[in-house]
Each structure stands twice: as C-alpha cells, then as structure tokens.
Amino acid sequence: MSAGPDPAASGGSLPLGRIERMLLAGVAALLALLLLWLRGGLHPSAPLDRLARQSPDFATALADGRPTLVEFYADWCEACRAMAPAMETIEQRHRGKLDVVLLNVDNPRWQPQLERFAVNGIPQLDLFDAEGGPVGRSIGARRLEELEALTTALLQGQPLPPLAGVGATSALPDLPAPDNLEEAATTATTIGPRSHG
C-alpha cells in the first residue's frame, strides 16, 4: 500500500496547519504593532503634535495681553521631541496666563518669522512680554526646571535667568555696507534653522 509521494522528500513544502497559520498571523500582527509603536503611531497625541495642534495663532498671541513663549521646531528634530513633554507641562501649568506658540520651520508660512527672528537652529524659544515686545531668546533644548525659570521671569516681568544659551534681545545697529559685491559674497554665510547651527 503506497501513501503517495512525500512532498518534503521531493523538495516541496508541507502545507501549514491551522495552528501554524494562526501563530504566523499573530507574530506578524505583533511585529506590525511594534513597528507602529516605534514610529510613534500609537501616540497620535504625542506632546509635540498635541502642542502644535492647539497652538494659538502667532499674531493673536502677541496681541492678547499675555506673555508669549514661541518655539521654532520641526517634526524631525529629536531635541524638539525630547523637550515637548516639558513644554506641554509649562503650557498646562500656565494656561490662561501664558501663550505657548509653536512654529514649524518646515512650513513656508512661517518663513517671514524665521527671517525676522533670525532662526538658525532649533529648538529656538523666543520670549515676548504681555505687550508683544521681545524680551529674550533661548537656544537649544531645555529641561522642565529651566523652562519654568524662563516662564516665571516672563510672567513676573523679571530679568531672564542666567542660563547658557539664553539672552535678552535688542535691536542690532545697522552695519556698514561692504565696499563691493564681491566682498559681500565672500563674507556672507547661509545658515538656516535646519542646520542646527
């Protein structure tokens, strides 16, 4: 009595049984969930995304009689993402007393503000008083304690704390024009916010 050719012996493969198919589908589903989680897909309301979505309009924030903290950021910026939970805490603690505005450097809509506030690296925080006047700037990622110190000074109208990368803003004097275009071309540098410069 012949049972027929054995598929495994002839180089073929045995059909998967029901248990193996279910196990394979389960592993594939777990891998898909892991990949989604690693890319941030399970966190649709991650702090940076949430802050950006609820951010008030820049011009409105400067005119509403509250101090304003503006963060120039990008979705791909790891330092911006790392700082986002602390920024969210600041926004929640001081809601109604402070406006937290996020401006994405990759959005062409904000190009005039990038130029106006000389954004050449991110994250960059620009601080404004209740009248909308510039008070200071902070370059680089900040811990919650540092953000709280900046915010407290801003809300109380006090000088900014002496932190590395923090300084008051002031108008720059007009610089003399170069004598010729060639000199201007050799001394000019192009630095943008995407350079982390």
Which residues are annotated as catalytic? 77, 80
Residue ranges in the chain assigned as alpha helix (H): 18-38, 47-54, 58-63, 78-93, 111-116, 144-156, 181-187
Torsion, CA 18, CA 22, CA 28, CA 30, rounded to 10: -170
Residue 141 to residues 23, 28, 119, Cα–Cα distance (Å): 44, 38, 14
Give the three-class secondary structure for 166.
Answer: strand
Q: Peptide bond preceding 123: is omega within 30 degrees of 0, i.e. cis?
A: yes
Neighbours of 91 (CB within 10 A): 22
61 within 8 A of 98, measured Cβ to Cβ? no
Q: Per DSSP, what are the bridge partners of residue 126?
A: 70, 137
Q: For 43, phi and psi rounded to 5 degrees?
A: -120, 65
CA 78 to chain centre: 7
